[in-house]
């Protein structure tokens, strides 16, 4: 497993560098190809190819499909390997993208091997889909992964597990980004302040209002994280804008939040507001994962592994498949820490364990 992980990691694959991502896709595809599986590389204009691998059941009567989903793109620019080489130390494997989520792809590969070697034949077709742009919002892969998820009875997402205990992610917050734009009126701050409408003032008043919508108990968070406005200190600001990060655990809260944003009214006389954007990934509510999680927990306990669950604050492609109503279990990938940071790593001895859990899930679905 480590040898394959090393190979995948050495093929650097930032979402935004197509030539490198394409090369990585070939390296990954070759491993599946070796196993005699049907591998499709689906080329993209501006991104790396998506990889679709199909395993067909021998049983002719079999029906249905299982989707094993993940991404091979990383947030690291090419050349990162020089500062952050692939290495194994103290039972951990380090390197750019190992945890998020190349080790997950390796585990899926070995889960498949385990099924083959034990002559376990899942009753359903299995599609493994490794995409190239999850880290930048899945624009080029969204249609593809949604259409596969629609055809599937379950989706297993190989994103990293949560925390050292390897918790599965049975709920994920919905994620969005909105922009609040304020149009005011410029005027000389000294000669005619009363003729201006200060867009910066209006924006700060609106942000104070928006702050009150935070509700950590319900998992709702609203954060204006980037603001811009004004031109010069003696000119009453004509324009101001804020980019706002939106998160919610429930669909109803998400809709309420969008509604409240759209209904914002100006506070200063003469100011005008414009709201753009909203949620791009809807929440993955726990009920979409509950049955799959119960089965995973039971299968794991038969192997002497205790499996827990958690809610993730970030979104993944699991949000997209869950939104279609397809049962989705996320966080099945590697156990480790430090995603998107210099100490990103996976715990080596957990890799076969996680592969075994996935194999058992595929065999019993």
Member of 100, 238, 330, 344 binding Zn ion (CB under 5 A)? 100
Nearer to Zn ion, 134 or 148 (CB): 134
How many residues bind Zn ion (CB under 5 A)? The answer is 3
- Residues between 138 and 167 that touch Zn ion (CB under 5 A): 159
Query: Parallel, antiparallel, or unpaired: how do β-strands 65-71 and 125-131 relate?
Result: parallel
Q: Are 134 and 105 in contact (CB under 8 A)?
A: no
Member of 5, 24, 66, 101 binding Zn ion (CB under 5 A)? 101
Binding mask 48-87 for Zn ion (x = CB under 5 A): ----------------------------------------
Nearer to Zn ion, 12 or 159 (CB): 159
Minimum separation from the CB atom of position 91 to Zn ion (A): 23
Task: Select the span of 95-103, 175-183, 212-220, 249-257 touching Zn ion (CB under 5 A).
Answer: 95-103
Nearer to Zn ion, 101 or 322 (CB): 101
Separation CA 346–CA 319 (nearest Å): 24
Separation CA 123–CA 104 (nearest Å): 23
| CA dihedral sign, ordered 20, 23, 29, 34 | negative
Minimum separation from the CB atom of position 136 to Zn ion (A): 11
Tell me: cis bond preceding 172? Omega within 30 of 0 counts: no
According to the binding rule CB under 5 A, does residue 98 interact with Zn ion?
no
Minimum separation from the CB atom of position 71 to Zn ion (A): 6
Buried/exposed 165-204: b ≥16 CB within 10 Å, e otherwise: ebbbbbbbbbbbbbebbbbbebbeeeeeeeebbbbbbbbb
Nearer to Zn ion, 229 or 318 (CB): 318
Q: Are 16 and 22 in contact (CB under 8 A)?
A: no
Nearer to Zn ion, 101 or 332 (CB): 101
Nearer to Zn ion, 159 or 285 (CB): 159
CB atoms within 10 A of CB 127: 21
Nearer to Zn ion, 109 or 339 (CB): 339
Q: State the chain's maximal CA–CA distance in angstroms.
A: 85
Separation CA 222–CA 298 (nearest Å): 37
Separation CA 256–CA 274 (nearest Å): 18
Q: Are 281 and 295 in contact (CB under 8 A)?
A: no
CA distances from 239 to 111, 144, 183, 195, 227 (A): 55, 40, 5, 15, 11
Minimum separation from the CB atom of position 272 to Zn ion (A): 39
Minimum separation from the CB atom of position 211 to Zn ion (A): 30
Minimum separation from the CB atom of position 268 to Zn ion (A): 43
Minimum separation from the CB atom of position 328 to Zn ion (A): 15
Q: Are 335 and 346 in contact (CB under 8 A)?
A: yes
| CA dihedral sign, ordered 285, 355, 63, 297 | negative
Task: Select the span of 82-90, 99-107, 163-171, 287-295 touching Zn ion (CB under 5 A).
Answer: 99-107
Minimum separation from the CB atom of position 190 to Zn ion (A): 53
Binding mask 107-136 for Zn ion (x = CB under 5 A): ------------------------------
Nearer to Zn ion, 126 or 339 (CB): 339
Contact residues toward Zn ion (CB under 5 A) are 100-101, 159
């Amino acid at each position: 497993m480590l040898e394959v992980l090393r190979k995948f990691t050495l093929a650097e694959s930032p979402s935004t560098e197509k030539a490198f991502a394409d090369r990585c896709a070939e390296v990954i595809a070759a491993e599946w190809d070796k196993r005699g599986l049907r591998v499709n590389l689906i080329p993209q204009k501006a991104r790396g190819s998506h990889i679709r691998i199909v395993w067909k059941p021998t049983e002719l009567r079999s029906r249905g499909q299982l989707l094993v989903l993940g991404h091979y793109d990383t947030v690291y620019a090419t050349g990162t390997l020089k500062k952050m080489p692939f290495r194994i130390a103290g039972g951990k494997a380090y390197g750019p993208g190992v945890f998020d989520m190349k080790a997950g792809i390796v585990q899926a590969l070995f889960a498949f091997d385990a099924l083959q070697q034990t002559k376990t034949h899942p009753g359903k077709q299995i599609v493994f889909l490794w995409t190239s742009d999850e880290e930048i919002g899945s624009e080029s892969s969204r249609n593809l992964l949604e259409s596969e998820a629609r055809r599937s009875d379950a989706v297993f997402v190989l994103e990293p597990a949560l925390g050292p205990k390897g918790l599965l992610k049975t709920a994920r917050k919905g994620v969005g980004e909105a922009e609040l734009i304020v149009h005011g009126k410029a005027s000389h701050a000294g000669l005619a302040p009363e003729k201006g409408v200060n867009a910066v003032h209006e924006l700060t008043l609106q942000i104070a209002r928006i702050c009150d919508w935070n509700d950590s108990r319900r998992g709702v968070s609203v954060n204006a994280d980037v603001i811009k406005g004004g031109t010069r200190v003696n000119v009453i600001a004509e324009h101001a804008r804020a980019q706002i990060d939106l998160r919610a655990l429930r669909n109803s809260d998400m809709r309420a939040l969008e509604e409240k944003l759209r209904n914002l009214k100006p506070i200063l006389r003469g100011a005008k507001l414009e709201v753009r954007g909203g949620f791009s990934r809807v929440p993955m509510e726990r009920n979409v994962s509950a049955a799959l999680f119960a089965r995973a927990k039971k299968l794991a306990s038969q192997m002497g592994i205790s499996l827990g669950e958690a809610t993730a604050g970030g979104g993944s492609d699991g949000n997209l498949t869950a939104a279609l109503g397809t049962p989705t279990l996320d966080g099945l990938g590697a156990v480790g820490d430090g995603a998107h940071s210099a100490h990103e790593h996976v715990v080596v001895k957990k890799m076969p364990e996680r592969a075994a859990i996935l194999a058992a899930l595929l065999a019993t679905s």
